[in-house]
Amino acid sequence: MEEEPLYLTIVTAEKFKKHQGFDLANFEHQFLSDVHTYKMLKVVSYGAFKENISRNFNIPSEQLRFWVHVNRQNKTVRPDDPIPEYYYNISMGEIHAKMTSRRDGMELYMEVADKPFNEKTWFPPMEGNNYIIVFLKYFDPDKQTLEGLGHLYVRRFDKVGDYTRVLCEKKEFPPDIPLKIYEEIKPNMIEEMKLEFTFQQSQIQNGDIICFQKALIEKDYKLCTITNRIHTIPQYYRLLTTFSVKVVPPIVTAEKFKKYQGFDLANFDHSDIHIYKILKEEIYGAFKENISRTFNIPSEQVRFWVFVNRQNKTIRPDSPISESRFNISMGKIHPKMTSEMKLYMEVADKPFDDKTWFPPMEGNNHILIFLKYFDPDKQTLEGLGHLYVQKFDKVGDYTRVLCEKKEFPPDTPLKIYEEIKPNMIEEMKLESTFEQSQIQDGDIICFQKILTKKDYESYTITNRIHNITQFYELLMTFTVKVVTAEIFIKYQEFYLANFEHQYNISKIATYGAFKENVARRFNILPEQIRFWVLVSRENKIVRPHTLIPDSFLNKSMNEIHEKMIPLKNEIKLYMELADKKINGNWFPSMEENINIMVFLKYFDPDAQTFEGLGHLYVRKYGKLGDYNRDLCMKKNFPSDTPLTIYKENKPNIVQELNLKYTFTQSDIQNGDIICFQKTLTDKEIQEHTEAGRIHNILNFYNSLNLRTIVSFKPKLEDRNSKPQFDLILNKQWTYDKASVALYLNTDPFKIRLTATCHTLKRTTNQTLLNQTLTYEIPTVFYEILDESNIEPVKPKEPKTEKLFKIIWLGNIVKHEEIIDICLQKDAIVSEIITEILKKVTLSSPNARIRLYKVMNHKIQKEYKETELIGMIKEFTTLYAEEIPQDELLADFNDRIIQVFHFTKEPHRTHGIPFKFIIKNGETLADLKIRLQLRLDMNQNDFEKIRVAIFSILSVITCEKPVYPKDDDIIVLEKIFSKIYYLGLDHEIEDKPVYIRG
């Protein structure tokens, strides 16, 4: 399944300051909080994201730190952990997966430091210290509002009352002003805090919100009561329970309507309209005054019309908000008029009569209509605002008025149309009245000049639209589907990808506007992207073929569609993204016709997956073998690693390529897909075969052809509620292999499967799909049987037993013990561990055992408890040990890595490797103390060992390691991950040292 883009919502201190609800912001309904939102590719690194935000806010990046919000059990959403700086080069997608459980987004708080915390850092460290970050809100009974005062670091063992002076400083009160302090517990529930309690006793943790106000005297209390104002924080929070939901009225003005090029008055999903956030309890009069101040128009010259959704799928102003509702809250007006409030702002430039600025709408013949003019010279629509007409007047009586609107001579002949429903218009009869034409408030009338024969010929020769009906046909949208590199990376099938990102765009929208729109969605610069048109080739594959040049920026998407793929009713595009400039350009030139863009897939036989590696520019006449180094670089392999390379030819057919041939000789063109893997030795092929794994690309593609989706449904839905789900299965799997027991976490023999008309047989020679009907997606019904209903199963034939010699290391270095274990081949690793537990004693009841394979004195694999022991090759060196407690209790920011022994040169390995935890922020000196204890070595022997750091690449290439100093902080400075090792260099060889790890 294709990966979705990452949505980021950022709260700043400035936005928090204005938030009037619970938590720091309302993330569930973002229109309720004025927060910053971003949409970005998951492959963007945290460092790049941070730099981008720092530029947006004009703040140095070192003064920024981001906290990830989490959903707590008490239904609050709070900042919980900061993103550590050693994640600088990690992608936002990885951070999202590590730090939040939300599927497609992250909510962040942007912490800004105005001065350094100490000489080394701008921020207080959050690990191993007593700091807690809390957020402050102040309730002002005079203004009847909450004010967010940003965050504050407190010490967990300080008393709450010790910080009253600090809170007074935040509001510039005298330091001895008595305060009432509360904590936000859960949605719309707060609790007064005891000043004599510590923050620890008050159960305050990172991200909690503290609210405070002045302790009122009796005079203040009486004043608030007389003026009907809320005087305490608990009262205000109770009010939020009823009225905290805000109304967002998108407002269409005549100015916005003038520029709009679509159907109706505006597109409320995409148009440039005004959006305001208001509390439901705000009265209509206050709302109106606020808007009038914003536009600098006297409020008496403004009235608002409410849009309604009509049955013909149009959205039109239907009725004005009456002035009699001046003192009624917007919350009461809102549900009476429509479920979603959209408004048209009518502005009067002169009074209608001596009494009012607007014509009354009850009991008279006035109709409010809107006007659009089509200009064939500019090929645009122009909104001309609104016009009041009399319902019994003839349409033709208003041609003079329409001419005045465009400053035409009054006798200019016009064609007049009505917008009937989306992208359908109808010419109006000039002799009919507006009543006869069924015109009502909010209807839209379009007009243009009647063209002369000469005008008509001129527009025809220049291939321009000459009448309104043609233009409205062009306004119809079509679909643009976009593939990104991010989607390609995860795609596991033939072709480039499925099409996740879809855009419905107007045919008259320019390519430049489309490009700007996509760039905004992904939060990147428009010049960093360009699009390739995907075409269907004769061999039934879809590939990027032609680049849309920047010279097309001002062409409409319809023109591009007709020029490049005229036979299709949609456009499929590949979005090429450049992360940096090369020789001053974002992209290589395609004009000289010497470069080809190819796509790369890597097949990993260990993981049994494809990995999309993006695209690569190659020379047409370059040999494939010349790019071996580039492909190795993509996977961080040594540059001379031998590779086998294939080309995707047509659906599920691939062809091995001759490395001596050029790309032209290999018939490779723009958009082709090249697949590669390491060239395996006979021994590696044998290992993969014995493990039941596919070892080459050709067979893996064949296996893709056997994949199918089977839908499983509970047979008896009225019993216990069980899920309906789909599984991807192999068409050749039998009943046992296709069992749903693993998905349902139950005994396989309790499962009974049924097709639409018969029970499926538990057989080894007939596939599951042969027993089901041949629908496009076969459906199988399942039951989970009681013990008494389990079908009798024939006894299995005895399996061949397998003998293992396990070297048990325990938790004391110098004690090694050989344990012989004999199990059936179909047993799993957890059964080995169970047998070990019968023969050894662990340090605690909660201790766990690790089983791992060692080759050349390095850990090659750590086995999962669910793995079949039949996959473990004979004569494999197996070690078992008790997992150290500090590893089981590792913090999120700690790193568990492999340690191995060597002498002088990295390839001169010896001894037994082991796993070891490196604590975040720990110096090498502290690490060595724990390391010595783990090795159980005396001081003299341990002093002969030097600790080295290796990357996986330096281990493979035998490069010289890095030897850190005792005061180096390993994790922060070396940014440890799974691709790093610690090496113990035993430089002095005169006396053998007993080592294990």
Per-residue model confidence as pLDDT tens digits over 942-976? 888 888 887 765 555 556 778 888 887 776 444 44
In the prediction, which pLDDT does 997 show?
38
Least trusted range by pLDDT, from 252-261, 488-497, 504-513, 530-539: 488-497
In the prediction, which pLDDT does 336 show?
45
Is the pLDDT at 591 greater than 60? The verdict is yes
Distances (CA, A) of 638 to 617, 629, 646, 978: 21, 8, 20, 18
Task: Tell me if residue 712 falls in helix, strand or coil.
Answer: strand
Is the pLDDT at 871 greater than 90? The verdict is no
- CA distance linking residue 972 with residue 84, whole number of Å: 9
* Together in a domain, 218 and 252: no
Distances (CA, A) of 880 to 804, 816, 997: 12, 10, 12
Do the Cβ atoms of 256 and 381 come closer than 8 Å?
Answer: no
| Residue 949: exposure state from Cβ atoms within 10 A (0-12, 13-18, ≥19) | buried
**Residue 373, CB-side half-sphere exposure with 13 Å CA sphere:** 20
Is the pLDDT at 347 greater than 50? The verdict is yes
pTM over 0.85? The answer is no
Is the pLDDT at 498 greater than 60? The verdict is no
Count Cβ atoms below 10 Å from residue 715 Cβ, excluding itself: 15
Quick one: pLDDT band at residue 747, thresholds 50, 70, 90? low
Say if 89 falls within a structural domain.
yes
Is the pLDDT at 45 greater than 60? The verdict is yes
Is the pLDDT at 994 greater than 70? The verdict is no
DSSP secondary structure code for residue 923 in this structure: B
Nearest Cα neighbor of 269 from 370, 340, 335 is 340
- CA distance linking residue 512 with residue 526, whole number of Å: 9
Is the pLDDT at 245 greater than 50? The verdict is no
User: What CATH number should be reported for the domain holding residue 910?
Assistant: 3.10.20.90
In the prediction, which pLDDT does 993 show?
43
> What are φ and ψ of residue 52, in 5° steps?
-65, -45
Distances (CA, A) of 692 to 70, 733, 783, 804, 873: 41, 14, 30, 20, 12
Average pLDDT, the chain: 77
* Together in a domain, 486 and 378: no
- CA distance linking residue 47 with residue 866, whole number of Å: 38
- CA distance linking residue 104 with residue 433, whole number of Å: 55
In the prediction, which pLDDT does 814 show?
59
- CA distance linking residue 372 with residue 448, whole number of Å: 9
In the prediction, which pLDDT does 345 show?
86
| Summary count for the chain: helices (H), strands (E) | 25, 45
* Together in a domain, 445 and 528: no
Domain coverage including residue 765: 704-784
* Together in a domain, 98 and 196: yes
User: Would strands 595-604 and 673-678 be described as parallel, antiparallel, or unpaired?
Assistant: parallel
**Interhelix angle 284-295/330-337, nearest 10 degrees:** 90
**Residue 543, CB-side half-sphere exposure with 13 Å CA sphere:** 24
In the prediction, which pLDDT does 485 show?
56
- CA distance linking residue 317 with residue 386, whole number of Å: 11
Task: Tell me if residue 363 falls in helix, strand or coil.
Answer: coil
| Residue 842: exposure state from Cβ atoms within 10 A (0-12, 13-18, ≥19) | middle
Is the pLDDT at 722 greater than 50? The verdict is yes
**Residue 182, CB-side half-sphere exposure with 13 Å CA sphere:** 22
Sign (positive or negative) of CA dihedral 426, 431, 432, 433? positive
* Together in a domain, 299 and 442: no
* Together in a domain, 167 and 236: yes
If you average pLDDT over residues 750-763, what whole number do you get?
58
- CA distance linking residue 755 with residue 760, whole number of Å: 7
Say if 646 falls within a structural domain.
yes
Nearest Cα neighbor of 493 from 599, 598, 610 is 610
Distances (CA, A) of 787 to 124, 720, 751, 780, 896: 59, 16, 11, 22, 44
Q: Which of 418, 441, 466 is at the close of a domain?
A: 466
Say if 478 falls within a structural domain.
yes
Q: Which of 669, 695, 721 is at the close of a domain?
A: 695
Which two three-digit tokens encode residue 261?
């090029």
* Together in a domain, 236 and 249: no
DSSP secondary structure code for residue 681 in this structure: P
Per-residue model confidence as pLDDT tens digits over 536-581? 666 556 667 778 888 888 888 777 777 777 555 567 788 787 777 7
Count Cβ atoms below 10 Å from residue 990 Cβ, excluding itself: 5
> What are φ and ψ of residue 293, in 5° steps?
-65, -40
If you average pLDDT over residues 513-524, what whole number do you get?
76
User: Would strands 643-650 and 673-678 be described as parallel, antiparallel, or unpaired?
Assistant: antiparallel
Q: 817 - beta bridge partners?
A: 808
In the prediction, which pLDDT does 31 show?
37
Q: Where are the alpha helices (DSSP H) in 510-627?
A: 511-522, 557-564
- CA distance linking residue 133 with residue 117, whole number of Å: 14
Residues 6+ apart with CB under 8 A from 700: 603, 608, 610, 694
Residues 6+ apart with CB under 8 A from 808: 816, 817, 818, 819, 836, 839, 840, 880, 881
Task: Tell me if residue 576 falls in helix, strand or coil.
Answer: strand
If you average pLDDT over residues 626-641, what whole number do you get?
85
* Together in a domain, 674 and 727: no
DSSP secondary structure code for residue 623 in this structure: B
Kindly state the greatest CA–CA separation across the chain. Answer: 114
Quick one: pLDDT band at residue 209, thresholds 50, 70, 90? very high
> What are φ and ψ of residue 411, in 5° steps?
-100, 15
Quick one: pLDDT band at residue 534, thresholds 50, 70, 90? confident
* Together in a domain, 752 and 733: yes
Least trusted range by pLDDT, from 265-279, 371-385, 504-518, 924-938: 265-279
Per-residue model confidence as pLDDT tens digits over 398-411? 999 999 998 999 88
In the prediction, which pLDDT does 566 show?
53
Is the pLDDT at 267 greater than 80? The verdict is no
Listing DSSP states for 720-788 in one string gives S----EEEEEETT-BTTTT-SHHHHTS-GGGEEEE-SSSBPP--SSSBTGGGS---SS-EEEEEE--GG
Least trusted range by pLDDT, from 125-139, 165-179, 263-277, 901-915: 263-277
If you average pLDDT over residues 722-738, what whole number do you get?
57
* Together in a domain, 564 and 481: yes
Which two three-digit tokens encode residue 306?
């409410």
Per-residue model confidence as pLDDT tens digits over 72-88? 777 788 888 899 888 88
Distances (CA, A) of 985 to 159, 346, 537, 752, 899: 51, 81, 58, 59, 11
Do the Cβ atoms of 319 and 360 come closer than 8 Å?
Answer: no
Task: Tell me if residue 881 falls in helix, strand or coil.
Answer: strand
Quick one: pLDDT band at residue 110, thresholds 50, 70, 90? very high
| Residue 720: exposure state from Cβ atoms within 10 A (0-12, 13-18, ≥19) | exposed
* Together in a domain, 670 and 719: no
Domain count for the chain: 7
* Together in a domain, 756 and 691: no
Say if 83 falls within a structural domain.
yes
Residues 6+ apart with CB under 8 A from 222: none
Please give the torsion angle defined by the CA atoms of residues 788, 789, 790 and 792, in that order, rounded to the nearest 10 degrees: 90
Listing DSSP states for 882-904 in one string gives EPPHHHHT--TT-EEEEEEEEES
Least trusted range by pLDDT, from 482-491, 604-613, 669-678: 482-491
Q: Which of 761, 784, 807 is at the close of a domain?
A: 784
Least trusted range by pLDDT, from 570-574, 658-662, 936-940: 570-574
Nearest Cα neighbor of 995 from 948, 938, 935, 914 is 935
Say if 672 falls within a structural domain.
yes
Element (H, E) at 700: helix 697-705
If you average pLDDT over residues 843-866, what whole number do you get?
82
Say if 547 falls within a structural domain.
yes
Say if 637 falls within a structural domain.
yes
* Residue with the two structure tokens 């009494």: 355
Quick one: pLDDT band at residue 687, thresholds 50, 70, 90? confident
